[in-house]
Chain A
Amino acid sequence: MNCHPITRRESIKKLLKISGGFALTGVMTWPFQKPLSARAGSINQNFIIEGIGQSNEYSVKTLTRKVFEAAGGIRQFISKQDVVVIKPNLSWARPPYLAATTNPEVLEAVVELCQEAGAKKVRIADHTIHDARRCFAITGAGMVAKRTGADLVFPRSSLMRNMKLQGHRLDVWPVFVPLVEADKVINLQVAKVHALSGLTLGMKNWIGAVGGRRSALHQDIHLTIVDLAQFFNPTLTLIDATRIMIANGPSGGSSSDVTVLNRLILSDDPVAADAKAAGFFDFRPQDIGFIRLGHRWGIGTYEFQKLRQHKVII
């Protein structure tokens, strides 16, 4: 057996070889890594896509796909082997027609798109208000998970962990861990009215991504929304306005509270997406506190007209 010790010189040589190899691979792959981060570009390169379903028998799933195509295809945002977490709004144990929760057809289309892009895992996670099992069942998210094979992540107390948000208002707060541990996060919110914040839009969805004394967040709702939006910073924001809740929000409960709009908004700028969606309710973006604050602190811009705009009509 050859068991003479390695000399100092040999070991240095070996170490150099190994580290050199790593350095070389690092240098080689460097140029490929850069375009992967979707939000790396300057603000002018951000986009906002509006999808409109005009024909009577249009399919919500097709519309969702077309919207992503217009943004350059899902592969622009989701890489192979990514762990993607989708954050829909499944807060209420209400059937989809009441527009209190994200349209399951949109959700299904997004899950499928992520899977087609080669995502390693697609997870659907939400910290619901009603009992999570009932919410997942009644909103149709459970069915989506079953059909597509995506994981449904239940808001268990063991998945809430105190984290430093370093916000203007929130410092340490329990956060729903799967959303932090994801490679890519897609915010999939349904547009609704809300008595205090004016509207429930993309950025407000992050209240459903934390634990703790959530009801106390209302005492400074706009600031906490912006803090959370800054912390979670999704890859994409998709606002589901296939049908919107125009009264009795955010829980609704009657089909008379709902208007069918057949629209979707997709953007990589969370503030712009919300600003555009605010228009559906005849609000100016700056009338909504969290949109105004989000703009001021540079999370995005509410001047969505300045972004690369695109319209998809089917």
Chain B
Amino acid sequence: MSQAFFLILFVFLLVESRLPQDIYLDYSITLTAEQDIDLDYPVKLFFQLNPLIWITSLISGHQWIKGFGWALGIIALTFFSGKVFCGFICPFGTIHHMVSYIRPALKKQSMIYANQKHPSQRFKYFLLILFLVAAMLGLNLTGLLDPIAFLFRSLALAVFPGLGTGIKELFDLAAQSDIKTLNYISYGGEVLVSPVFGYGYKAFKSAWFIGILFLVILFLNRIRPRFWCRTLCPLGALLGVFARFSILRLEKHTEKCTECKLCLESCQGAASPVPGQEWEATECMFCFNCFNACPENAIAFKLGWLPSVSKRPDMGRRAVLGGLVAGISFPFLGRLDGRVHKVSDACLVRPPGSLPEKDFLKLCQRCGLCMKVCPTNAINPALTEAGMAGFWTPNLIMTQGYCEYTCTLCGSVCPTGAIYEFSVKEKIESPIKIGSAYIDRGRCLPWSGNGPCIVCEEHCPTSPKAIRLSEGPVPLPEGKEASAKLPYMDLKICVGCGICEYKCPVRGRPAIRVMAAGESRSLKNQILLKA
């Protein structure tokens, strides 16, 4: 019940991470001022519930991020009753639960065998230590495998857009039909479906990879139930460390046990529920399956107020040392490409309000919230632009969308403040620059003598415009000379929003392009002496 509730809540908040559907603003307000459009629901909730994200952000970013009181509550809950988060709240856990147990791949003996504790379960501690140590050294990789970030990214960037694309193709087919009824069905269907799946076709670079990874992780449940939770989940590992002190404990009555192993067959966490073995408090997800399965009442969950602690988490020396070594190496390996210290990739345009690159990598969880919420679909997960350290961090692709001048959504959803919360006023008046545009005169229509255009100037949102026109002579392809309105950039004014690149009629590689140089978050990555 509670699992279903939290899974539905998670998906609901994921769907709500979009431009608000309420377009009925009272315009009497906007008659005189810019207005912020805010989201209706606390879409960051599950990230704020997440102690792993909180701790890694705290030790890497050295700051208390607003709204993470929830995570403290989860830690307190874990002290009281173990990893109930895994068994009752975690939406990713619920999905694994469903996949593993609704149609189990394993039967009886093989299930009992698969549910025995396995040394591979130490691997999650390796990951936990890696993430904690790396975070301490300024690289926050947590989001790559944090269950909430992983699930959000997979659903928001791969599963939902994938389904949406399929449905939209169907509707487009119906729309092209000559049968009127089909046209109406197509429009009506789109009206219903697009609030969920997004407006038009969504595209995310490397989403196929995100999707395949998600499928593989789900498939692993057939090899061993809740494979992810047992072997990979770093959040589970972190909660396991606290769960050791849990007051709620499994009590075993060895004398009643008939060794039927029904408890083990139903155990989700491979936590050795069979009497006679030592119970693994740090692995147990408190699903209470064993308790329900036992026909002899040989096991029961009891509150023990005694100041005793359960078995230490079985990390294994190799996992600890391996975690330490990897955790220390990764941040420095990640900086070896020089993108933080020497020169960043020209195409790495970050969302407005992003922190300086070094601080950004300390906080960004690569969760995909900003990418999901971006109304123009400009924000994409970076593949190579930000280097290894910035894999899947947000990157704006201006041929796919652009940064709308008065939109502030990405800043308002970022759970860790890697993109800080900014207002429309701040964005326009500071101004927050994300880069600057330059004109490729060889491709530009008027500059190359291929006809009038000015589309970039027309769309430029600043006032005065950053793209100006000047009448000048241009040589035509046939050798004659003509006069044309030629676009010029004013770098002092350009904010790098990219609408010029997006709307440029020159297909393929647009004749005006945005690069990160000039972004206000960096002191180094500048062009002009004084902006």
The CA-CA distance from A157 to B455 in the complex, in Å, is 22
Q: Which residues of A contact B405 (CB under 8 A)?
A: 93, 253
The CA-CA distance from A184 to B504 in the complex, in Å, is 34
Question: Which one of B17-25, B66-74, B286-294 is at the A interface?
Answer: B17-25
- Given known contacts A93-B406, A138-B30, is B462 in contact with A221 (CB within 8 Å)? no
B503 and chain A: residue at smallest CB distance: A215
The CA-CA distance from A138 to B485 in the complex, in Å, is 32
- Given known contacts A131-B376, A134-B19, A156-B187, is B31 in contact with A218 (CB within 8 Å)? no
Indicate with 1 or 0, residue by residue over A14-56, a CB within 8 angstroms of chain B CB atoms: 0000000000000000000000000000000000000000000
Q: Which residues of A contact B334 (CB under 8 A)?
A: none
Query: Do A134 and B375 touch (CB < 8 A)?
Result: yes
Q: Which residues of A contact B205 (CB under 8 A)?
A: none
Query: Do A195 and B454 touch (CB < 8 A)?
Result: yes
Query: Do A195 and B175 touch (CB < 8 A)?
Result: no
- Given known contacts A145-B24, A158-B175, A158-B187, is B459 in contact with A195 (CB within 8 Å)? no
Chain B: interface secondary structure? loop
B455 and chain A: residue at smallest CB distance: A215
* Most chain A CB neighbours (cut-off 10 Å) among B21, B407, B452: B452
Task: Tell whether A252 is near chain B: CB-to-CB under 8 Å.
Answer: yes
Q: Which residues of B contact A251 (CB under 8 A)?
A: 458-461
- Given known contacts A134-B375, A159-B187, is B30 in contact with A196 (CB within 8 Å)? no
Question: Which one of B117-125, B127-135, B463-471 is at the A interface?
Answer: B463-471
- Given known contacts A142-B25, A218-B452, is B30 in contact with A252 (CB within 8 Å)? no
Instruction: State which of A133, A156, A194 has its C-beta within 8 Å of the C-beta of B458.
Output: A194
Query: Do B171 and A158 touch (CB < 8 A)?
Result: yes
Query: Do A96 and B452 touch (CB < 8 A)?
Result: no
Chain B interface residue number, banded: 35 or more
Query: Do B35 and A95 touch (CB < 8 A)?
Result: yes
The CA-CA distance from A142 to B23 in the complex, in Å, is 5
The CA-CA distance from A137 to B461 in the complex, in Å, is 18
Indicate with 1 or 0, residue by residue over A213-247, a CB within 8 angstroms of chain B CB atoms: 10110111100000000000000000000000001
Instruction: State which of B26, B31, B172, B485 has its C-beta within 8 Å of the C-beta of A196.
Output: B485
The residues in B between 3 and 39 inclusive whose CB is less than 8 angstroms from any CB of A are: 19, 21-27, 30-35, 37
Query: Do B404 and A134 touch (CB < 8 A)?
Result: yes
Task: Tell whether A257 is near chain B: CB-to-CB under 8 Å.
Answer: yes
Q: Which residues of B contact A247 (CB under 8 A)?
A: 464
Indicate with 1 or 0, residue by residue over A135-152, a CB within 8 angstroms of chain B CB atoms: 011111011111000001
- Given known contacts A156-B187, A194-B458, A251-B461, is B404 in contact with A93 (CB within 8 Å)? yes
Q: Which residues of A contact B24 (CB under 8 A)?
A: 137, 142-143, 145-146
> In the complex, given contacts A95-B35, A132-B199, what are 5 additional A-B residue pairs having Cβ atoms less than 8 angstroms apart?
A97-B31, A158-B190, A196-B454, A218-B458, A248-B463
15 residue pairs A–B, Cβ–Cβ below 8 Å:
A104-B27, A131-B375, A131-B376, A139-B27, A140-B25, A143-B26, A145-B24, A156-B190, A157-B200, A196-B454, A215-B453, A218-B458, A221-B452, A253-B461, A253-B463
* Chain A residues engaging chain B, CB cutoff 8 angstroms: 92-97, 104, 129-134, 136-140, 142-146, 152, 154, 156-159, 161, 194-196, 213, 215-216, 218-221, 247-248, 250-254, 256-257
